[in-house]
Amino acid sequence: MAKLITLGSLIDKTVDHYHHNFKELVGITLWLIVGAAPFLFSGYIAPMGVDEATPMNELIAYLGINTVGFITTTIASFWIAACLILTIDARAKGNVPNHVALGKQSWRHIPELMALSIGIALAAGAATIALIVPSFLIMFLNGAEGALGVAIGVIGVLLLFTGIIAAIYAVIRYGVELTFAQFFLVLGQKNIWGAIKESHAAVQGSWWNIAIRLFVPNAIISLIVIAGTMTINIATTVLVSFAAASLSSLAIKLIAIGLTLSIFIVNALIMPLYSLAIYYLYDSIKRS
């Protein structure tokens, strides 16, 4: 039986694949900017956001455009996720991807990927509520007085901390176990429940080894994203602070649009790395 891929090999394969197929991968993820286009328009309408002084017509336009942006960005994100999985798999197996065919195939995966993500989010939310709400009920409905009231309050606080810890554990535990569900759904030709069961079974017995191989590359990638985004935000803030008095309204709007665009570009550049790291770990699990 083959061994699970080492952390060093996982990082090396991820970086090597990204380096040699950069244009192909980023060509897919840059569609995120198309999906996020409504957010650019909302930045033009209200570059500093909205408040109580915002005219009603601008507020309605701003909220409407952002709602459309949320929908289009969500659809684009699921399409990109499916297309990355299919394209990476083709390249990893030595094949030349047919981008037109894979693009069409990716559209068909959007509903099931969306249903999978919503289902996992609802389950995680329900579990968190079930673990935390009882402690709040004990504390807020505590009508006892004296020593009994204090004791019940202490129990409620202890239950709250216990519930929070249990919720964090559950989210991390099952988050790792369901990490590969998308890949089994797209590549394994499984239905949603089948993909969940396959992902759960694949992690059994190797949870810690897989968790470390997921955490380290994703932590490194996330730090790059955070650093890039913070640098852009700080640089823009400093620029606007020093030049605000001399900037026209149009210039401020263009800066807001540019800031939003740059954040999406950073994410588009980094997104393939997440998919690559998980794919090569998924492939190693399938072989082991």
Tokens of 160: 């709250």
Residue 96, classed as helix, strand or coil, is coil
**In this structure, are residues 85 and 182 in contact, taking their beta carbons and an 8 Å threshold?**
yes
Q: Judge contact between 108 and 102, C-beta under 8 A.
A: no
pTM recorded for the entire structure: 0.86
pLDDT reported for residue 1:
40
Q: What is the C-alpha to C-alpha distance for residues 216 and 131, in angstroms, rounded to an integer?
A: 28
pLDDT (tens digit, 0 to 9) for every residue of the chain, 288 residues total?
458 899 999 999 999 999 999 999 999 999 999 998 888 887 777 666 666 777 788 778 888 888 999 999 999 999 999 999 999 999 999 999 999 999 999 999 999 999 999 999 999 889 888 888 888 787 777 666 777 777 877 888 888 898 899 989 988 999 999 999 999 999 987 789 999 999 999 998 889 999 999 999 999 988 988 888 888 777 777 766 666 566 666 676 777 777 778 888 888 999 999 999 999 999 999 887
Residue 88 CA to residue 214 CA, distance in Å, equals 18
